[in-house]
Chain A
Amino acid sequence: MRGLLLRRALDAIPVLIGITLFSFALIHLAPGDPVLILLQGHATPANVAALRHQLGLDRSLPAQYWQFLRGAATFSFGESFEYRTAVGAIVAPRILVSLLLICYSLALAILIAVPLAFVAALGRNRPRDHAIRLATTVTFAMPSFWVGLMLALLLSLELGWLAPSGYGTTFSQHVQGLTLPAITLALSLSPLLIRVLRSSLIDTLGAEYVQALRARGLSEGRVLAKHVLRNSLTSAVTLLSLLFAVLLSGAVVIENVFAIPGMGSLLVSSVSARDFPVIQALTLLFGVAVVLGGLLADLVYAAIDPRVRL
């Protein structure tokens, strides 16, 4: 197991370097010049040259990339063009915010998906199964920003249960503020999850050992919870680890809608301002998050299926 983790960690290094190179190339190839955006209306040649020098943009691209790599190795990403302060100070407080949002969404997605998948699988081809499959199809087709807005209209404007946006300063305010975005993300995630889990539950339910367990007189609840679910989860975990990247990119949109000060909303604003140091730091962080998500999935496999520990 340790060997597996080590191997995966080593595999991640070229991936991460690739990500930095790709994001560096992308921001420099994309149109839009941070100096001209910052100086809007005051971009005389003298001002432009001075600011370009001040921001270090007058050096060669390889030199700029090398500086970024060296900085990244020591978690120092330079100064934000836009906020004129250390990138670390801007990005760091946002990591926890996004992490909370993603964990909250995952938890909700599992809470929604597992019971519904069971209901559908146990009632296979009955009306309730069809209803759930229809509902997942409809939910899957709805864009998440639209769902978010509809939820906000319902839960905050009509029912007055939740604040329409914001993150607050205390933990209970955080949880409150993250509820709407987390439900939104969970809803976008659960259709696929329900479908995958449903079909793998159906497979497992038909397996001979399940019949054997039943024949031995185990209670249905015990059979389902301890044996069927556990044996069906592997495919769902695989899917979740793949969907993790989707969840991160969903968070980019949703954080902006609900004014959540996470990494996603920062990415949106820093891309608009061509704030290169912040964009580079964030893309690297997102890359690390996806890699860690994959590692986490490996650990979860091992926990639910001892055969993986080989």
Chain B
Amino acid sequence: MKSMHPRGTGRRAFSAAIAGLLASCLFAACGTNGTPASTTHPGGSTNASGEDPVRGGTLTIARSYDPQSLNPLTCACDNGSLQVMVEVFDTLVSYATPDASATPVPDLASSWTVSPDGRTYTFRLRAAMFSNGQPVTAQDVRYSLARASDPVSSYGGLYPISSIATPDPRTVVLKLKTPAPGLIYALGFPAASIVPEALVKNEGDAAFSQHPVGSGPFVMRSWLHGQELDLAPNPHYWQTGLPYLSAVRMLYVPNDNTRILNIRTGAVDIADEIPFSQVKSLEDEGIRVLVQPSSAIDTVILNNSFAPLGNLAVRRALAYATPVQAIAKSVFGGLAPVMNTVMPKLKYWNPAVRPYPYDLARAKQLLAQSPYPNGFAITLSIDGSDTPSLQTAQIIQASWAQIGVEVKIQEYDYGTVQSRWAAGQYESTLLVPDADTSDLPVDDEYAHGLFDNYAADRNLYSYYQNPAAQKLAVAGLTASNEAARRAAFDKLQEVTMAAAPSIPLVWAPFRAAVAGNVHGFSYVLVGWYPLQKVWLSH
């Protein structure tokens, strides 16, 4: 549930009108250079070749996000900042890449053990240094994790830690309030980055966020807000020989078409957030577009306190009346898998749950059994400048009209959509497709957030309460063995899909255009790309 930095205005004008125009007149006139190779690698990284890595070179990335604050302890954890934090800081564990299940692997911790009751974690730290030459000690880990697990921090809920002990400078022992098998995954999220305690205390959070110091593969060399952030290798990095690159330039290029132009002219090596509608045309031009699974969900979020939506038959009718396949094909270019659950597709994804087929007869039948046999009127708030949202909303409007549900599309800017959602001032809403993402590669965050957090935020502002689902969520979150955990999450996905507290659409994948000489580039499921093993062939 990281926050997404809202992007610039004028996107609708660009994406919709211009993209079409460009594609038809100019791109055709420019001529493709005769290599229309489709080089999408679903689930893979970009080093399929198996060549030996080459050292040196500057990697230039055109990014759609501008970092806001680089202090993990006060993490707003917007996508722009997370990407920099994972390069500058280490966490106790990190996620294996390329690996669709994002298994935790040793990072600053060289090994760990978990007590049989699941409430004590003992970490052995490796000998590592911060980029200022100071050693990373158990004390630093204690300070960092105590800050991360502070309940007032936005991400405190991910770390149910009751005490942290440091029996020796290389050992850290975490005691938990309850068993939390998801914790080891949460320790790989940048909110749990290990920072140098003395330095942070000395200069304060605000100053540290401007020039962060960590033990990660890179150091931040310069940061021009709203323009460019440059990284250089950390000379003290514990993994000898890494990173391969001698410099990284992250350029902030908010406009979709300008980012694409940058990759087409070769001005940059990577351009991220390629619009779905342009992936195909780039590939036809011979530009490689990496499409990889993400932890994002795109759903029609329903406010279950809006009277008709409090009714199960109505919600199921709406699910049957939503042509998800058509949306996946026409809005997302067939690149986004159709959701068969109401949750992100993560480690405990249950493939046996059946998606709702598009069945208007069944939808009408369900509606006839409800207190709204002739339908009702409902508003759908969306970011009007986001093309996928607008197209999705229009398809839904046309389709729901056929069962008598009259959708009024309310177009706002994204800040208003977010505000109305979080304030519960909506009947139904769409977030932009890449915004609603799990921070963990396991189901814990969404199981808790959607079904076990009513007192705090009305289950992520859905006003949906389901005691059976809540029980299953808690069972999965605290299960003492893997089989019980999987069984609970399996059942949770089944139960909640049947209840349709939201209308699931697609899992939107990551899309990055990557130049041919870039190797080892891959996203992790939860939203960033580690760069220490990326290299450039000359």
Contact = CB atoms under 8 A, between A and B. Distances in A.
B347 interface: no
B225 A90 contact: yes
B419 A258 contact: no
A170 interface: no
Contact of B261 (A47, A84, A94, A153): A153
A253 to B, nearest CB: 6
A277 interface: no
Contacts of B449: 41
A259 B253 contact: yes
Contacts of B423: 33, 36
Interface residues of A, number: 55
A146 B30 contact: no
Contacts of A166: 227-228, 251, 253, 267
Given A38-B76, A261-B224, A269 B10 contact: no
B22 interface: yes
A64 B59 CA distance: 45
Interface string A229-273: 000000000000000000000000100111101000110110111
B433 to A, nearest CB: 15
B66 interface: yes
B265 A160 contact: yes
B261 A156 contact: yes
A130 B154 CA distance: 65
A158 B27 CA distance: 10
A259 B6 contact: no
Contacts of B457: 42-44
A165 B258 contact: yes
A145 interface: yes
B486 interface: no
Contacts of B30: 153, 157-158
A272 B9 contact: yes
B350 interface: no
B419 A269 contact: no
Given A41-B1, A83-B68, A32 B8 contact: no
A70 B449 CA distance: 42
A165 B254 CA distance: 11
B529 to A, nearest CB: 20
Contacts of B22: 149, 153
Contacts of A258: 255, 258
Given A85-B209, A157-B261, A272-B9, A146 B18 contact: yes
Given A165-B253, A265-B254, A47 B6 contact: no
B14 A145 contact: yes
Contacts of A37: 3, 6, 415, 418-419
A206 interface: no
B168 interface: no
A266 B261 contact: no
Contacts of A164: 258, 261-262, 265, 267
Nearest to A82: B68
Contacts of A160: 265
Contacts of B225: 83, 90, 93, 261
Nearest to B207: A85
A43 B4 CA distance: 14
A36 B419 contact: yes
A49 B26 CA distance: 52
B301 to A, nearest CB: 12
Contact of B154 (A39, A83, A265, A266): A39
Given A38-B76, A165-B253, A269-B6, A84 B226 contact: no
Interface of A: 30-33, 36-47, 50, 82-85, 90, 93-94, 143, 145-146, 149-150, 152-153, 156-158, 160, 163-167, 169, 253, 256-259, 261, 265-266, 268-269, 271-274
28 contacts: A31-B419, A41-B1, A41-B2, A41-B3, A42-B1, A43-B457, A44-B457, A83-B68, A84-B74, A84-B206, A84-B209, A90-B225, A149-B14, A163-B267, A165-B251, A165-B253, A253-B9, A256-B8, A256-B9, A256-B10, A256-B254, A257-B10, A261-B224, A261-B226, A261-B227, A269-B66, A269-B254, A273-B415
Given A258-B258, A265-B8, A269-B8, 20 more contacts: A31-B420, A33-B422, A47-B152, A84-B68, A84-B76, A143-B13, A156-B267, A157-B30, A163-B265, A166-B253, A256-B254, A259-B227, A259-B252, A261-B224, A261-B226, A265-B226, A265-B254, A268-B254, A272-B7, A273-B5
